[in-house]
Amino acid sequence: PTFHGYQGGDVLGAAERIDYLADLGINAVYFNPIFQSASSHRYHTHDYFQVDPMLGGNAALREFLDEAHARNIRVVLDGVFNHASRGFFQFHDILENGPDSAYIDWFTVHEWPLRPYGSKQHGYAAWWNNPALPKFNTDTPAVRQFIFDVARHWIEFGIDGWRLDVPTEIDDDSFWQEFRRVVKTANPEAYIVGEIWGDAGRWLQGDQYDAVMNYGISRAALGMFGRETFDREYRPGGYKLVPLGARAFAHEVQRLMEMYPWEGTAAQFNLLDSHDTARFINQARGDWEALKQAILFLMTLPGAPCLYYGTEIGMTGGPDPDCRRAFPWDDMGSWNKDILSFTKAAIQLRKDNPALRRGRYVALYAHEDVLAFARQSDEQSDRTTSLAWGDV
């Protein structure tokens, strides 16, 4: 993969393969952005009300939702609401009409003329100063209403939640409180998860997001299970990775379990890697046992475990964009069947034990290379699941 190249694949293709996900045990899918865009990763949104025609358009999403819901699989879409793109109509209108544009207050203009291509001094606020990504001015009521309308539209269309891209860039609690009200009014069960790499206590008080992407878990898992092999130079999200023995690992997990109110901890979006990081197996430099232990750990923690596509078959990939390789449907001989079988078993373990889905986390033992903890279920007070790791 490259930053600008397309690899093929579309939403109808995903619908055709959905039985693979159901067989794996998946009960939710989170799509990276699928709205109309001129970039392969689609974080440069042109039209928030249209699924990209290259992916099959709105009709393809309708089919995928119907197929997913028929199998009790929920669907979360990526909401890129901090910035739009040069092709977004309202911004394009400013480029065409200058100060006379009807949408001049949708973005923040610093100086004229605007220079949207190839200049660091492009004249308007942009995400990370990238001229391709003009930042919305969410202080403008029309912009706020537009984003809320988008959020409501797709929930009413049938999606089951939003993953929010760089939401802290909209540094406005009242904005996200209203966003939550709009989404939860349309569907009280909808899931709202923000991309926040560090402490997210401000946004997890029950009035904004339900959860955040819990990269703390991924760093801890790599530090423990891949401590002998992981790449000491790599900094996922800018965070330094630290090797952890059982006791230090137990302390870090306990800290993560106590960072937020229990309702937030129980809803956390737990992951090992993502489209923004090298894959876990690459960070662990090919240590397959580290990956297996990390998957089991992921499936036994409080929260919502998320597998980045292809982890279950041992897909590899370095930092972005290499981590976004196409799924090898045409080369099943490359699949790591041992990892696939192990992942299925770990998912089934979670599904078979209510304590692993809903129970409290209780640390039991941590010494040298051995860690043990229990999950105790409120639903079944006599049901406790205990787990241990170690070099045996």
For residue 392, what pLDDT is reported? 34
**Active-site residue (options: 195, 273, 287, 312):** 195
- Note whether 375 and 385 are within 8 A (CB): yes
Residues in the chain: 392
Question: What span, in angstroms and rounded, lies between the C-alpha atoms of 320 and 282?
Answer: 12
**Active-site residue (options: 52, 78, 160, 165):** 165
For residue 119, what pLDDT is reported? 77
For residue 384, what pLDDT is reported? 67
For residue 120, what pLDDT is reported? 82
For residue 381, what pLDDT is reported? 53
For residue 241, what pLDDT is reported? 96
Residues 57-90, buried b or exposed e (16+ Cβ, 10 A)? bbebbbbbbebbeeeebbbbbbbbbbbbbbbbeb
Question: What span, in angstroms and rounded, lies between the C-alpha atoms of 255 and 365?
Answer: 16
In terms of phi and psi (left: phi > 0; alpha: psi -120 to 50; beta: otherwise), the region of 175 is alpha
For residue 391, what pLDDT is reported? 46
For residue 390, what pLDDT is reported? 61
Question: What span, in angstroms and rounded, lies between the C-alpha atoms of 78 and 105?
Answer: 25
**In three state form, how does the secondary structure of the chain look?**
CCCCCCCCCCHHHHHHCHHHHHHHCCCEEECCCCEEECCCCCCCEEEEEEECHHHCHHHHHHHHHHHHHHCCCEEEEEECCCECCCCCHHHHHHHHHHHHCCCHHHECECCCCCCCCCCCCCCECEHHHCCCCEEECCCCHHHHHHHHHHHHHHHHHCCCEEEECCHHHCCCHHHHHHHHHHHHHHCCCCEEEECCCCCCHHHCCCCCCCEEEEHHHHHHHHHHHCCCCCCCCCCHHHCCCCCCCHHHHHHHHHHHHHCCCHHHHCCCEEECCCCCCCCHHHHCCCCHHHHHHHHHHHHCCCCEEECCCCHHHCCCCCCCCHHHCCCCCCCHHHCCHHHHHHHHHHHHHHHHCHHHHHCEEEEEEEECCEEEEEEECCCCCCCEEEEEECCC
Provide the residue-wise pLDDT of the chain in tens; the chain has 392 residues. 998 899 889 999 999 999 999 999 999 999 999 999 999 999 999 999 999 999 999 999 999 999 999 999 999 999 999 999 999 999 999 999 999 999 999 999 999 999 999 778 999 999 999 999 999 999 999 999 999 999 999 999 999 999 999 999 999 999 999 999 999 999 999 999 999 999 999 999 999 999 999 999 999 999 999 999 999 999 999 999 999 999 999 999 999 999 999 999 999 999 999 999 999 999 999 999 999 999 999 999 999 999 999 999 999 999 999 999 999 999 999 999 999 999 999 999 999 999 999 999 999 999 988 999 999 987 655 566 677 766 43
| Active-site residue flag, 195 | yes
In terms of phi and psi (left: phi > 0; alpha: psi -120 to 50; beta: otherwise), the region of 206 is left
Question: What span, in angstroms and rounded, lies between the C-alpha atoms of 239 and 120?
Answer: 27
